[in-house]
Amino acid sequence: MAIFSNTRIQLRHKLSRLMNDLVTGVVSSPASGTFVCATTHWEKSDDYFNDFIEVFCYSGTGVGTSGNPTDWANSTHTLTFKPVATLTANDLVELHQRFSVDEYNDAINHAVDQVANDALVDRVDETITTASSTWRYAVPAQFLYIDAIYIGDSTGAFNTKEPIDPKYWRISKEATLYVEFVKEFFTPTASRKLRIIGMASPSILDTDTEACSIDPEYILQSAKSFLHQSRIRGSDKDSEFHASQMAISRKISDDKRKEMSTNRSGRAVVEV
């Protein structure tokens, strides 16, 4: 079990809070292009949310719905947004004034990519089924190291005490990477599952419910530095502010990255 496990929603909300750019709420009385939110911290003056760049539904029937706030009436706590859509009562929404949901998600995934060779994760794959007279099988995606390979019995069960002897297989590094069994020593029985155990690069987060096993402090500070960097446009005061904040966040993320260590073992699939 991973020490860290944070979904993309959790990381995005933590990150946007660090950027002082998150308001969340619960939808009530939804209509076409409008909804009421009675949450106390939405008690803001008329038009307060008009310059926010996005309202996004992150949970509920309307999940994924996005719009630009165009009007806020405090007397009725009604938000209007475009393009028009109809949410559902009890949908959960987030509002952002400085960065969009896509910008936050991209920054998080960019941070993940930066430690593809540092924050390795345990990986087990059982997607390969052996075929008759076949000694080569494409290495499943993301493996950087392979520790052991097991072959299942006729029922699909694995004897975890007896991996295939490492002398009987090798990594063939071609345009396509293969696990190749040495024909002279070993012939896999057909129609059996292979269990490949090793280490892989961490996956980027394609959905809000996917979890990340990397230290969240690294992810947040690294993503924060990318967001500030994206707003540097020259030598004006705003750019100077973002440049200074980027430098602070990058220093913290670099320090956290130095703490990452993985006990790499097994055969290297690719040169890293």
Q: 156-174, pLDDT tens digit by residue? A: 899 777 899 999 999 999 9
* Whole-number Å distance between alpha carbons of 28 and 50: 19
pLDDT of residue 264: 72
* Whole-number Å distance between alpha carbons of 174 and 139: 11
Edge-to-edge strand ranges of the sheet holding 78-82: 23-26, 92-96, 54-59, 66-73, 78-82, 34-36, 28-31
Is the backbone peptide bond immediately before 30 cis, with ω within 30 degrees of 0?
no
Least Cα distance to 65 among 45, 86, 44 occurs for 86
| pTM, to two decimals | 0.85
Contact status, residue 187 vs residue 164, Cβ threshold 8 Å: no
What DSSP state is assigned to residue 175?
A: S
pLDDT of residue 1: 44
* Whole-number Å distance between alpha carbons of 199 and 147: 8
Average confidence (pLDDT) per 10 residues, the chain, 272 residues: 86 98 97 95 97 98 98 97 97 98 98 92 94 95 92 88 92 94 93 94 94 96 98 94 97 94 79 63
Contact status, residue 173 vs residue 183, Cβ threshold 8 Å: no
* Whole-number Å distance between alpha carbons of 55 and 38: 16
pLDDT of residue 254: 96
pLDDT of residue 98: 97
**Left, alpha or beta for 222 (phi > 0: left; psi -120 to 50: alpha)?**
alpha
**Alpha-carbon torsion 147, 152, 157, 162, what sign?**
negative
Cα of first residue to Cα of last residue in the chain, in angstroms, is 25
> CB-based contacts of 142: which residues, under 8 Å, 6+ apart?
123, 200, 201, 203
